[in-house]
Structure 1
Amino acid sequence: MQDLIDLNADLGEGFSRWTLTDDEALLSVVTSANVACGFHAGDPSVMRRVCDLAAARGVRIGAQVSYRDLAGFGRRAMDVPADELAAEVAYQIGALRVFAEAAGAEVAYVKPHGALYNRTVHDAEQAGAVVAGVRLAGGSLPMLGLPGSRLLAAAADAGLTPVPEAFADRAYTPRGTLVPRSEPDAVVCDEDAVVRRSVAFAVERAVDTVDGTRVTVAARSLCLHGDTPGAARLAVRVRHALEEAGVKVGAFA
Structure 2
Amino acid sequence: MTPTAVVGIDLNADLAESYGRWELGDDLAMLEVVTSANVACGFHAGDPTTLLRVCRAAAAAGVRVGAQVGYHDLAGFGRRFIDIDPDDLTAEIVYQVGALDALARAAGTSVGYVKPHGALYNAVVSHERQAAAVVEAVCLVDPTLPLVGLPHALSLRLAEAAGVPTVTEAFADRAYRPDGTLLPRSEPGAVLHDPEAVAARVVELVLEGSLTAADGSRVEVRADSVCVHGDSPGAVAMATAVRRALESAGVDVRPFVAPREG
TM-score, scaled relative to structure 2? 0.95
Q: Report if the CA contact (8 A) 2:177-2:213 is conserved.
A: yes
Partner of 1:167: 171
CA distance in 1, matches of 2:86, 2:135: 10
Classify the secondary structure of the residue corresponding to 1:164. Answer: strand
Partners of 1:56 and 1:210 in 2: CA distance: 39
Q: Does 1:33 align with 2:37?
A: yes
Number of matched pairs? 253
Q: Name structure 1 gaps, 5 residues minimum.
A: none
Q: Distance in 2 between matches of 1:26 and 1:190?
A: 17
Q: Distance in 2 between matches of 1:67 and 1:136?
A: 18
Quote the residue 1:66 is aligned against: 70
Say whether residues 1:88 and 2:79 are aligned partners.
Answer: no
Aligned equivalents of 1:138, 1:129: Cα separation in 2: 14
| 1:139 CA displacement | 4.1
Distance 2:45 2:78 in 1: 8
DSSP 3-state at the match of 1:62: strand
Q: State which drifts further: 24-33 or 101-110.
A: 101-110
Of residues 182, 191, 196, the one that matches 1:192 is: 196
Is the aligned partner of 1:116 residue 2:116? no
The alignment yields a C-alpha RMSD, in angstroms, of: 0.8
2:169 alignment partner, SS class: strand
Q: Distance in 1 between matches of 2:91 and 2:222?
A: 31
In 2, the alpha carbon distance for the partners of 1:200 and 1:158 equals 33
Q: Deviations over 1:177-223 (max 9, x none)?
A: 10011111111122222111111111111110011111110100000
Structure 1 vs Structure 2: percent identity of aligned residues?
58
Q: Does residue 1:10 correspond to 2:18, yes or no?
A: no
Q: For the residues of structure 2 that align with 1:13 and 1:157, how far apart are their CA atoms?
A: 32
- Tell me, what secondary structure is at the counterpart of 1:122? coil
Say if 2:255 is the partner of 1:251: yes
Q: Does 1:143 align with 2:147?
A: yes
Corresponding letter in the other structure for 1:189: H
Letter in 2 for 1:82: P
Partner residue in 1 for 2:109: 105
Distance 2:204 2:109 in 1: 32
Letter matched to residue 73 of structure 1: F
Matching of residues 156-235 of structure 1 within 5 Å:
156-235=160-239
199-208 or 66-75, larger mean C-alpha shift: 199-208
**SS of aligned partner of 1:121:** coil
TM-score, with structure 1 as normaliser: 0.98
Cα distance between partner residues in 1 of 2:92 and 2:198 = 34
Unaligned runs of 5+ residues in structure 2 are 258-262
Partner amino acid for 1:191? Answer: P
Moved more, 60-69 or 132-141: 132-141
Query: Following TM superposition, by how much is the alpha carbon of 1:33 offset from its aligned partner in structure 2, in angstroms?
Result: 0.0
The AA in structure 1 aligned to 2:114 is V
Amino acid corresponding to residue 235 of structure 1 in structure 2: A
Mapped contact 1:10–1:225 kept (Cα < 8 A): yes
- The answer to whether the 8 A contact 2:143-2:164 is kept is no
Select the residue among 222, 238, 244 that pairs with 2:242: 238
Runs of 4+ off more than 3 Å: none
The question of 1:42 aligning with 2:46 is answered yes
* Residue identity opposite 1:36 in structure 2: A
Give the Cα separation in 2 of the matches to 1:129 and 1:139. Answer: 13
Measured in 2, the distance between the counterparts of 1:167 and 1:240 equals 17
